[in-house]
Structure 1
Amino acid sequence: MNLFIVISFFISMLACLGWVYYFWKLDKYEQEPFHLLLITFVFGAFLTLIASFFEELGLEFFGLSIDDVIQNPFNSNLLLFFLYLVVVVGIVEEFVKLIPVRFYAFKQINEPIDGLIYASATAAGFAFVEDLLYIYYGFKAGFVEGIFITWVRILTSPVHILFASYWGIALGLYKQNPARKSDVIKGFFVAAFLHGLYDFFAFLGEIGSIGAAAVILVTIILLMKKVSFLLRISPFNNLNYFISCKYCNGLFPAKAQYCINCGKSTYWVEKENKIQLKYFCGNCKSRLNFGQNYCTSCGMKIHWK
C-alpha cells in the first residue's frame, strides 16, 4: 500500500509540474527562468498548510461539518455552506496563492503574460500539496478509493491554475500599468467567487457536475482569449501595435493578414504610405504617431517594423 501511495505522489507531482511547463511555454517572446517558477511552486506548496488552518477555523465559525455535507448535502444548510466556500475557502486559497507572486515573483515580471506564468506556478504548488492530502486519506480508506482519488485529483488539479489566472493576468497588466491596480482586486474576488462556486457544485456530486463543468468551460474560453491578447501586447513582440482598417475602421494587429473585424485582406498596408496610416497602442488603444517610441497614455514601449 505504501508503495502505491509513493507512486501516486510522484505521478501527482509530475502532473502539476507538467502544467507549470505548459504555461511556461505559452510565453513566446521572453520566457522566465524556470528555476524561479520552481521556487514559486515551492512557496505555493508550503502555503497550502496555512490555508488548511484558516479553513478549519472557518468551519468552526460557520458551525459546519464537511463530513455531514458530503454524506447528506441536501439535508445541510446549503446557503451557509456556499457562503463558507466563497468567503473562506475561495478567498483564503486564492490569497495564499497570490502571496508568492505578489511578494516574490512580482519583481521578475517584465511583460503582461508573466503574471499568468507565475500564478500557474504557485497554483500548481498549492494543488500538489492538496493532492497529497486527498491521496493519502484516499488510500487510508482503501486501495480502490486511493486509486480513484489519485486520478480524480490529477484531472482536477489544473482547476487551481484556472482560477488563479484571473488575478495573475491582472497582476501582469498592473506591473506594466500601475493605473490598473483595481483590476487586480477585481480579478482576485472573481477568482475567489468562481472558486467557491466550483467547489459548491463539486460537493453536490452528479447533480452539480454540469454547473462545475460550466464554470471551468467559461474560464478556459476567457483564458484562451486573454493569452492571445497578452502575447500581442508584449513589449518583446516586435509588432505590438494596431492599425486602423481602411474598410471598417476597426483595429487589427499589425502582422494580421486579414482584418479581425471585417475579414478583408490587409495587403493594402504594404502599398500605402506608412506615415499616412492610423496606428494605435496594442495595450490601451490610444492613437500613436508613426515612429513614436512609447505610448503617451500607458507607457508601453512600441516596437516598429
Structure 2
Amino acid sequence: MLLALCGLVMLGLVREETGTEAFLVGLGLAVLPAPAVVLAFRWLGRAHPLPWGTHAFVLAWGACAGALIALVANSFVAVWLADAWAHPVDPNTLAAFAVAPVVEESAKATALLLVLVFRGRLIRGPVDAVVLTGLTATGFAFTENILYLAKAFGSDRDEGTGAAITVATFFIRAVFSPFAHPLFTCMTGLGVGLALLSRRRVGRVLLPVAGLLLAMGMHAAWNGSTVLGPLGFPLVYVTIMIPALGFTVWLVLWHRQRELRTVRETLPRYALAG
C-alpha cells in the first residue's frame, strides 16, 4: 500500500509538471522497453528462481519509492545549489554529476537491503543479487523515462519541432541505453553477492561498499558525459559502458552456469536416494 501510494504521488507530480497529454505519451513510450529488460533478468535468475512476490516488490520499489525519493531529494538539492553556488559552475550540472548518482543509487540499493533484512535466505550469491538490483533499476528507469519522454514531447509541442526531440530521447534512453540504470545498480548487486560468498569478514564488509561506490561512479560518469562536448556521450558509452556491460554479463553468466552445473551433479544423487 505504501509503494502504491508512492507511485500515485510520483505519477501525479510528473503529470503536474508536464501536463496530461505529455504524461500519457511519456507513459506509453516508457512501457515499451521495460518488458524486455524484465524478462532478461527473469531468465538470468532461472537457475535459482526467486518468488514472483520478491521480484514484484523490488520492481515496484524502484518505480515508486526509489523514483519518488530521488525526485524529491534531487529537486531539493538543485534548488539549494542554485541559491548557494556561484558561477561559473552550473548548479544543475553539479547536481546531476555529484548529487543524483549518490541519491539514486542509494535509493535503489535500499530495495536489496530490505530483501536482505527480511528475506535474506533467498539470496545465495551474485546472480540473485544482480537480478534483484537489475529489476529495481528497471522499475526506476521506467518512471524516469516517463518524465524525460513527457518533457521531450512538451518541448516538441512548444517549439514546433514535430516529434524530433521525442524520437531522439526515446532512441537514446530506450534503444541505445535501456541497460544504463540496471548496469549501474548491478554493481551494488555484484558487491553484495560476492560478499555473501566471501569467507573473510573484511570482504563481507568492503565488497558491498565497493559495489555501491562503483555504481555511483559509473552513474556520475554517465551523467557527466553531457558536459564533455558532443563526443562526451559516445566516448563514455564506448570506453566505460560497453566494457562494463560485457564484463558484468560474462561474470553473471559464469556464476549461473556454475549453479546449473551444481544442480546437474547433485540432482541424480537425490533421485537415487529416492
Offset of residue 148 of structure 1: 2.9
Larger radius of gyration: 1
Aligned counterpart, 2:169: 149
Q: Does 1:216 align with 2:241?
A: yes
- Give how far 1:25 is off: 0.7
Structure 2 CA distance for partners of 1:239 and 1:173, relative to 1, 3 Å? farther
Residues 1:109 and 2:120 aligned together = no
Q: Is the 8 A contact 2:62 2:140 kept in 1?
A: yes
Q: 2:103 aligns with which of 92, 97, 110?
A: 92
Q: Percent identity?
A: 19
Note if contact 1:115-1:168 (Cα within 8 Å) is conserved in structure 2.
yes
Q: 1:25 to 1:196 in 2, by over 3 A?
A: same
Question: Per-residue displacement from partner, 1:226-282 (whole Å, max 9, x unpaired)?
Answer: 213322553872479xxxxxxxxxxxxxxxxxxxxxxxxxxxxxxxxxxxxxxxxxx
- Computed over aligned residues only, the root mean square deviation of the Cα atoms, in angstroms, reads 3.0
Q: What does residue 77 of structure 2 align with?
A: 58
Alignment of 1:173-184 (within 5 A): 173-177=194-198, 179=201, 180-184=204-208
2:234 alignment partner AA: I
Going from structure 1 to structure 2, the CA distance change for 1:10 and 1:104 (only over 3 Å counts) comes to farther
**1: CA distance between counterparts of 2:73 and 2:130?**
26
Q: In structure 2, what is the Cα distance between the partners aligned to 1:212 and 1:183?
A: 25
| Distance in 2 between residues matched to 1:14 and 1:116, nearest whole Å | 22
Q: Deviations over 1:69-108 (max 9, x none)?
A: xxxxxx9537x87764443111111011111111136523
Distance 1:7 1:86, change over 3 A: closer
Counterpart CA distance in 1 for 2:146 and 2:113 is 25
Residue 148 (structure 2) aligned to one of 130, 134, 140 = 134
1:166 has 2:216 as partner: no
- CA shift in 2, pair 1:36/1:26, >3 Å: same
User: 1:202 aligns to what?
Assistant: 226
Aligned residues: 230
Paired residue type of 1:160: H
Letter in 2 for 1:148: A
Contact 1:29 1:236 in 2 (8 A): no
> How far 1:37 moved relative to its partner?
1.4
Cα deviation 1:89-146 (Å, max 9, x = unaligned): 1111101111111113652313431000001110001101100001111111124123
2:169 is matched by which residue type in structure 1? Answer: I
Give the match for residue 230 of structure 1.
255
Distance (Å, rounded) in 2 between the aligned partners of 1:81 and 1:12 = 24
User: Structure 1 residues 64 and 126, CA, compared in 2 at 3 Å: closer, same or farther?
Assistant: farther
Q: Alignment partner of 1:104: what SS?
A: helix
Distance 1:7 1:136, change over 3 A: closer
Shift of residue 14 of structure 1?
3.6
**Once the 2 structures are TM-superposed, how far is the Cα of residue 48 of structure 1 from its aligned partner?**
0.7
The code of the aligned residue for 1:102 comes to L
User: RCO greater where, 1 or 2, for CA within 8 Å and sep 6 or more?
Assistant: 2
Secondary structure of 1:234's match? helix
CA separation of 1:186/1:157 partners in 2, compared to 1, >3 Å: closer, same or farther?
A: same
Q: What TM-score do you get using the length of structure 1 for normalisation? A: 0.66
C-alpha separation between the residues in 1 aligned to 2:216 and 2:147? 22
- The structure that is helix-richer by fraction is 2
Change (3 A) 1:131 1:109: same
Q: Give the unaligned 5+ runs of structure 2.
A: 1-18, 157-161, 266-274
The 8 Å contact of residues 40 and 122 in structure 1, kept in 2 or not, is answered as: yes
| Counterpart-to-counterpart distance in 2, 1:34 and 1:77 | 46
Q: CA deviation at 1:5?
A: 5.7
